[in-house]
């Protein structure tokens, strides 16, 4: 059974760059069956799609974050990474990685448990 596990620093200072990883177990991230996504949820608020990456490495970003976001894959480590630059308090959120099946259009059928990132000095 494929599982997703996010990891990150927990606390990031304003203006710094946030790095998160999502480790995929039970399957290969290079499978042509899946795309991968990062989605976040500020405390007490709704969900925001950040961006996605395909098995070919093609990336798709939310226009509201595009200038600050980079999503990449590390195939040998079976990981998906998120880099978010120039963070502010508004970037405080639980960050989830999620899976989209290629055949299933753009909804997300499997999610990690999320990792809380707090931006504070």
Partner 1 sequence: DIQMTQSPSTLSASVGDRVTITCRAGQSISGWLAWYQQKPGKAPKLLIYKASSLQSGVPSRFSGSGSGTEFTLTISSLQPDDFTTYYCQQYNSSPWTFGQGTKVEIK
Binding-site member from 114, 117, 118, 121 for partner 1 (CB under 8 A): 114
SS3 89: helix
Q: CA-CA-CA-CA torsion for 6, 8, 11, 17, nearest 10 degrees? A: -120
Applying CB under 8 A, among 84, 108, 117, 119 the residue interacting with partner 1 is: 108
Q: Which is nearer to partner 1, 18 or 97 (CB)?
A: 97
Q: Does 70 bind partner 1 (CB under 8 A)?
A: no
Of the candidates 53, 119, 54, the residue with the CA atom closest to the CA atom of residue 82: 53
Binding-site member from 49, 54, 68, 70 for partner 1 (CB under 8 A): 49
Q: Check residue 5 for interaction with partner 1 (CB under 8 A).
A: no
Task: In whole angstroms, give the CA distance from residue 30 to residue 51.
Answer: 17
Q: Does 46 bind partner 1 (CB under 8 A)?
A: yes
**Which of 9-17, 18-26, 80-88, 102-110 is the region at the interface with partner 1 (rule: CB under 8 A)?**
102-110
Burial (0-12, 13-18, 19+ Cβ within 10 Å), 40? buried
Torsion sign, CA atoms 25, 118, 63, 17:
negative
Smallest separation (angstroms) from partner 1 to the CB of 92: 16
| Binding stretches for partner 1 (CB under 8 A) | 45-49, 60, 62-64, 96, 98, 104-109, 111-114
């Amino acid at each position: 059974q494929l599982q997703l596990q996010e990891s990150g620093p927990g606390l990031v200072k304003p203006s710094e760059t946030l790095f998160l990883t999502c480790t995929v177990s039970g399957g290969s991230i290079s499978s042509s069956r899946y795309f991968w996504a990062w989605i976040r949820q500020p405390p007490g608020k709704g969900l925001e799609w950040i961006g996605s990456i395909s098995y070919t490495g093609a990336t798709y970003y939310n226009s509201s974050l595009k200038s600050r976001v980079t999503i990449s894959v590390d195939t040998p480590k079976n990981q998906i990474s998120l880099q978010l630059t120039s963070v502010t308090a508004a970037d405080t959120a639980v960050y989830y990685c999620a899976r989209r099946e290629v055949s299933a259009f753009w909804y997300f059928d499997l999610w990690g448990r999320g990792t809380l990132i707090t931006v504070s000095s």
